[in-house]
Amino acid sequence: MTTENTKAFDGNLSPEFFEAVAGYLGERHPRYGRLLDIQLIDGGKSNWTYRVFTEHGQLVLRRPPGVHTLETAHDVGREFLFFDSFQNTDVPVPRTVDYVGEDSPIGVPFFVTEFVDGVVATREGEGFIKEAETARRLCNALVRTVAAIHNFDWEDSPLKRFGRPESFTARQLRRLPRQWDGSGGTGAAFQELTEALRAVELPKTPQTAVHGDFSVHNLLLDREDPARILAVLDWELATVGDPLADLGWFVALWVDPTDGPERLALVGPDRKVTTSEGFFTRERLVEAYAAATGRDLSLFGFYYVFGLYKAAVIWQGVYSRYLEGGTSATGIDGMNERIPQAVELGLRCTRSPNFPRWPL
């Protein structure tokens, strides 16, 4: 969904695919005129994203990957529903155009949004945000945005279909081990971490809309003012659930100016962008969220570890799809090493005398 890092129309995009998209646009959305070109946006390890050029504007088409999808993953219908529900709210998302399900001309469901011309900070690299004040403003914008997601009135929207009375984390602690096994994950350490998390008794938390993968790498920022968030992307894991689990994922994969090489090795070099002066520490992010929402984060140590646990499962799935040829090699380097690192870090945290409280 950005103008950066795109792959030109090639063998990955067959003439049949081009013709199918052209026919669909001509029939359903003739206002865009003739289809000129399609580009596969590189770097996607989940749903595949295409930049679509027409005579009268640019669009984005999003579809599932080609092989090996995990339970609940790659649901473009879910993504579209969240995009559509957040139109004209405090949550910045692209303008929706259409969703096509069973009658898809390309053989799989897909959705279309308007193109948002922004930049992804993690693709720009270290030093992209040079001013400490800009970094602080972006961190505050991140907190405001995730708080806006969690404060959205989901019960008075189409998202109410995702609400469940059962504990979100309890469901996840059943589902994630199945996904781990289905992607070829092994090891006693993962089972030990699973049991440590299951042993924690959490108070009931009111459900909210959750993004599922909220991170600086899933944001489009304004080119001229990178502290301004234009759009939150990649909602394929979104649901209604525990907002602190959503925050836990965000914080678990955050790197800050105080972190050393071990932390950077865990999350990957593209996250180094938030190590510049002015970016918040993990503790300050949590404090800012608590101040913005009024939520009790005293047991946030559990959610932080749960974020590491979820990361290990998702990375295992991504790496499995890569081995099967179902995703690009972008971001794969070192992933097979990061998976056990996330599990081991989670285990070390559970052995802290302060676990499951925060800070650890």
> pLDDT tens for residues 113-123?
999 999 999 88
Could you give all domains of the chain from N- to C-terminal order, each with its CATH number?
Answer: 6-114 (3.30.200.20), 121-350 (3.90.1200.10)
pLDDT tens digit sequence for 36-53: 999 998 545 568 899 999
Q: Which whole number is the average pLDDT over 172-190? A: 96
Task: Kindly state the average pLDDT of the residues 5-16.
Answer: 54
**How confident is the model over 80-114, as pLDDT tens digits?**
999 999 999 999 999 999 999 988 999 999 999 99
Residue 156 burial by Cβ neighbours in a 10 Å radius (0-12, 13-18, 19+): exposed
> What count of residues does the chain have?
360
For residue 228, the number of C-alpha atoms closer than 13 Å in the C-beta half-sphere is 7
Read off the pLDDT band of 4 (50, 70, 90).
very low
Per-residue model confidence (pLDDT) at position 330: 67
- Is pLDDT at 24 greater than 70 in this prediction? yes
The yes-or-no verdict on residue 59 having pLDDT over 80 is: yes
Q: What percent of the chain has pLDDT over 90?
A: 76
Question: Angle at CA 68, nearest 5°, toward 318 and 103?
Answer: 120
Instruction: Say what the pLDDT of residue 166 is.
Output: 78
Closest CA to 40 of 79, 22, 63, 13: 13
What average pLDDT does the segment 148-158 reach?
97
pLDDT per residue as tens digits for the range 137-146:
999 999 999 9
The pLDDT tens digits of the residues spanning 315-329 come to 999 899 888 876 666
Choice among 203-212, 239-248, 260-269 with the minimum mean pLDDT: 260-269
CB 98 within 8 A of CB 29: yes
Nearest-5° angle of CA 80, CA 94, CA 19? 70
Average pLDDT, the chain: 90
- pLDDT tier for residue 65 given thresholds of 50, 70 and 90: confident
pLDDT score of 129 more than 80:
yes
